Each structure stands twice: as C-alpha cells, then as structure tokens.
Structure 1
C-alpha cells in the first residue's frame, strides 16, 4: 500500500516538475487530435445518411431484379466453390489410392492398415459369437423338444 502512495506521489511530483508549456502542448495536441477524430466521425455519419437517402429509392425500384440476382450469384458461387472443393478432394483420394496400390507408401497408410486389421479382428470376433450363439440355440432347442 505504501508503495502505491509512493508511486502516486512520484507521478504527481513528476508532472509538477514538467514545465507548464509542456503540459499546455500535450493538452492542445490531445484536444486537436480528439476534435479532428470527432469531426471526421460526424462527417462520415452525415455522408452515410445522405448516401442511404439517395440509394434507398434505387434499391426499392430495382429490388425485383437485385434480390433474385444476388440469390443467383450466391448459388452460383457456392456451387463453383463446392464443385472445386469436391474435385480437389477426389483427385487427392485417387492419387492416394494410386500410390497405395503401387506400393509407394502414401501418408496415413499405417493408420489404414491398423483400421483394416481392427475391422478384420472385430469381424472374426462377431463370427465366433454368432457361431457360439447358434450352437447354444440349437442345444437349447434340442433340450426343449425332448
């Protein structure tokens, strides 16, 4: 706490040590910069209101043409982007398959082999379970019929 008061005192003492002219120049600079930005903000707001006032009737007149045109352009753009993306994905997959088939070890081949082995082991496990269930089921039916 004492340190805070000491820093506050040093800050006040430092500002008091500056000549009065420096403080006046700093204040004048701050007022000039702030006022300029405020004036610029007001001019931009006025220009926006004027532009919107002029453009609104044009938007209303041309809206039967503009709205369908914007929707059409959005759909066309989306279609071209999706088509390009799927084309790149297809070429990537086909090149990966080609490298895999020709034995060139594409990236991710080890994960593919791991997944294939895991699926094969699960398939064998399910086959064994089905055979066990079938044997138990036939034994149960034989006991019920006798």
Structure 2
C-alpha cells in the first residue's frame, strides 16, 4: 500500500471577484445590460411625471376640501339626511340584488336536485319492489310455518283428549 504523503495532489484555485483591498464584491465586474439601461432611461421620466401628477392631485384635493368644508358645515342639516337617504337607497338596491341572486341560486339547486332525484327514482322503485317481494316471501313462509305448528298442536290436543 502506497504512502499517502508520497502521492501527488492536485490543487484547483478558483479566482474570486475582489474589489480594491481584497474584499469580495457582490456586484458583477461588467456593466449593466442594454435592457437595464433602457429600463432606467424610460422609467425615470415616466415615474417622475406620475409622481408630479400625484402631488398635483393631492394639492388639488386639499384645496378643494378647504373650500368645500365651510359649505359642508353650513349645509350639513340638509346634506347629512340626504346622504343617509342615498346610502339607505343604495343599500336597499344591493340587498335586493343579493336576495334575488340567493333566490335564483336556491331555485337552481332545487331543480338540479329534483332532476337527479328523477333519475334515481326508477332504481329506488326497483329496489323497493325487490324488498317487498323478499318480505312477502318471508311472511308467506312464516305464515306457513305458523299454520303447520298450529295444526300440529291442534292434532296433539285432539289425540290427548
């Protein structure tokens, strides 16, 4: 058996990506791809425009609320009952729709159940007929057995008297 220390060993060295000073970096050494550059070039103006529009919308909403707030306070005796009436009307329409959908789905379920029951009824009738024939046969044989036992006892009573 050969000595392990005398056998040659192979050593593989894998270079690591290193930054100045020997620290491993997580970023690749090559630059961004063309797709990434195109995404940034188109994304920044579109995102900036949308942010400006969001700010303008927020400012307009705040200004409109500041202008309308005194009107809400002045007309609140009219606006609050009107809002309640409109809310109740909307809730009524929604409840009516929900009840109608529930009724339709219930009717659909009943019709499906009845159609499935019609398909199963002939099988159930055949099963009931077989059971009745079996019961009738059983009752007939029991009646015959009881009749024979009564006849036997009557014959025994006649013999003993």
Please report the TM-score for the alignment, with normalisation by the length of structure 1.
0.45
Please report the TM-score for the alignment, with normalisation by the length of structure 2.
0.41
Structure of larger gyration radius = 2
